[in-house]
Structure 1
Amino acid sequence: MDLGMEGRTVIVTGASGGLGRAIARGFAAEGADVVLTYHGARAEAERFAKEIEQGGGRALATRYDMADPEAARALTGAVLEWSGRIDVLVNNAVHWGASAPDPDRPFEAVPDDAWRQVLHTNIEGALRLSREVAPVMRRQRWGRLVHISSSLATEGAAGSEYYAAAKSALHGFSRSAAFSLGKDGDILSNVVQPGLTRTDTNTEIADSYGHVYSARAPLGRLLEAAEVAGPVVYLGSAANTGITGQVITVTGGV
């Protein structure tokens, strides 16, 4: 199937590794020009961009700090200068907070600064960047937003209260944004909700907790990053003409 991505420009935030890397690779394989944002892993992102270019594609690695209120505007400007267009935004970057989720710590014991940072950074980071690219898509009368959520938003887990709350906010935003954007052209907004997925950056977590998810999954295993990336690429492509305002769960059936 031709996904109609040749010559289109795709921004994938948090693309230096993990699921973001698989998503960016999927778009590049379809002929899209890909913008790979990173926060701290500059060397990894630049190596990945070079890998794409050596394969005949076009890629730009650039820093993006979703906690910085000015970063979204700067990123959008840099992408427009590089390619002249923005066709797809994949909000994949995530801020985990200063400490790992602790299922044994009551959520009310989490310091105010810590839980506020998780909420504000994840919600505002995704919304700010969506706000910046939306006018470009409206002018083009074409665009795709794909927001990466988490099964924690609906399944829940002790210790993940604030992260799950931030991801849940994407669901409400994307649903309403689909109505607003759809009035101005072929512009779609969707959420992809993965479960625990095996990537190149979470081997320790997947090995430690994967059996819990695998035991519940009809497939009896964790999904690989490429298996989640496939639906993301489709939703962000020209081949998707009718799916918008939806939350697509990609968990292997959990």
Structure 2
Amino acid sequence: MDLGLNERTVIVTGAGGGIGRRLARTFAAEGAHVVLGYRNNKDEAELIAKEIGERALPVRFDLADEASTHALVDATLEWTGRVDVLVNNAVSWGADPSTWELGFENVDDWQDALRTNIEGTIALTRAVAPTMRQQRWGRLLHVSTSLVTDGSAGAEYYVAAKAALHGFSRSVAFALGKDGDILSNVVMPGLTLTDTNGFITDSFGKEYAARSPIARLLTADEVARSIVYLASAANTGINGQVISVNGG
């Protein structure tokens, strides 16, 4: 199937590891130009960009920094002159995830988790919207978590932030849909096998796998392929939806 991504320009945030890394490689394999937004994993992002070649551009991006948001979009437009796809994959965990079972005791921790994940994602979506409207084509994908529906003690504020993006994406689908072929969807992975969340899969992997009809966790590559399809020209009818990608 031709996904219609050849020569498209894709921004993937959180591209320095986990699902983001696989997204960058998968979009590039479809012929897209890929902007790899990273915050701390500069070496990893540059390594992935080198692997992809001239179709990749690593750019530092911090969800909590509005100036970083505009710099990311400006760098993208300077590079190719367009933004066709935005994958909001970056996340701010707030407190150290290893202490989630204790909750966020410090007010700064939970406010950071809420403000950064919600406001940062909204700001970047707003920043690319004018270009998509001008092109009359675009795809917006917001990566959420199955914890929105499953819940998890200690993850209340992170989950609240992700849940807020569900309503945001649904409304964006209406706001931008009238301006061209612009679609907005949420992808909701379950616990996924990646190189960055081993501390979770080692502790809870068997428990989560037992809940799945396929009795295993999905890999980052499997989740990435689903996101790339939704972000492609092959998807013309899935819009304003929350898609679970967790093996069932």
Range of TM-score over shorter length: over 0.9
Rate the CA distance shift 1:92–1:138 in 2: closer, same or farther, 3 A: same
Write out aligned runs for 1:103-122 (5 A).
Answer: 104-105=101-102, 107=103, 110-122=105-117
Task: Tell me what 2:153 maps to.
Answer: 158
Q: Is 2:80 the counterpart of 1:77?
A: no
Letter in 2 for 1:2: D
Letter in 1 for 2:180: G
3-state SS of 1:10 partner:
strand
Task: Tell me what 1:213 maps to.
Answer: 208
Q: Alpha carbon RMSD of aligned pairs, Å?
A: 1.1
Query: What's the CA shift for 1:103?
Result: 5.3
Q: Specify which of 51, 72, 89 is matched with residue 86 of structure 2.
A: 89
Query: What's the CA shift for 1:206?
Result: 1.3
Q: Specify which of 143, 165, 183 is matched with residue 188 of structure 1.
A: 183
Uncovered stretches (5+) of structure 1, i.e. residues with no partner: none
Question: What is the percentage of aligned positions where both structures have the same residue?
Answer: 64
State the alpha-carbon separation in 1 of the partners of residues 203 and 232 from structure 2: 35
Query: What's the CA shift for 1:175?
Result: 0.1
Task: Tell me what 1:40 maps to.
Answer: 40
Letter in 2 for 1:143: G
Task: Tell me what 1:232 maps to.
Answer: 227
| TM-score of the superposed pair, with normalisation by structure 2 | 0.97
Letter in 2 for 1:185: G
Query: Between Structure 1 and Structure 2, how many residues are aligned?
Result: 248
State the alpha-carbon separation in 2 of the partners of residues 103 and 18 from structure 1: 20
Rate the CA distance shift 1:51–1:6 in 2: closer, same or farther, 3 A: same
State the alpha-carbon separation in 2 of the partners of residues 70 and 207 from structure 1: 37
3-state SS of 2:35 partner:
strand
Preserved contact between residue 95 and residue 110 of structure 2 (Cα < 8 Å): no
Give the ranges of 4+ consecutive aligned residues of structure 1 lying more than 4 Å apart after TM superposition.
Answer: none
Q: Is 2:2 the counterpart of 1:2?
A: yes
State the alpha-carbon separation in 1 of the partners of residues 65 and 134 from structure 2: 26
State the alpha-carbon separation in 2 of the partners of residues 73 and 93 from structure 1: 16
Task: Tell me what 2:13 maps to.
Answer: 13
State the alpha-carbon separation in 2 of the partners of residues 100 and 194 from structure 1: 18
Query: What's the CA shift for 1:163?
Result: 0.4
Letter in 2 for 1:199: T
1:91-113 deviation per Cα after TM superposition (whole angstroms, max 9, x unaligned): 000001132264543x5x62211
Preserved contact between residue 144 and residue 162 of structure 2 (Cα < 8 Å): yes
Uncovered stretches (5+) of structure 2, i.e. residues with no partner: none
State the alpha-carbon separation in 2 of the partners of residues 44 and 135 from structure 1: 31
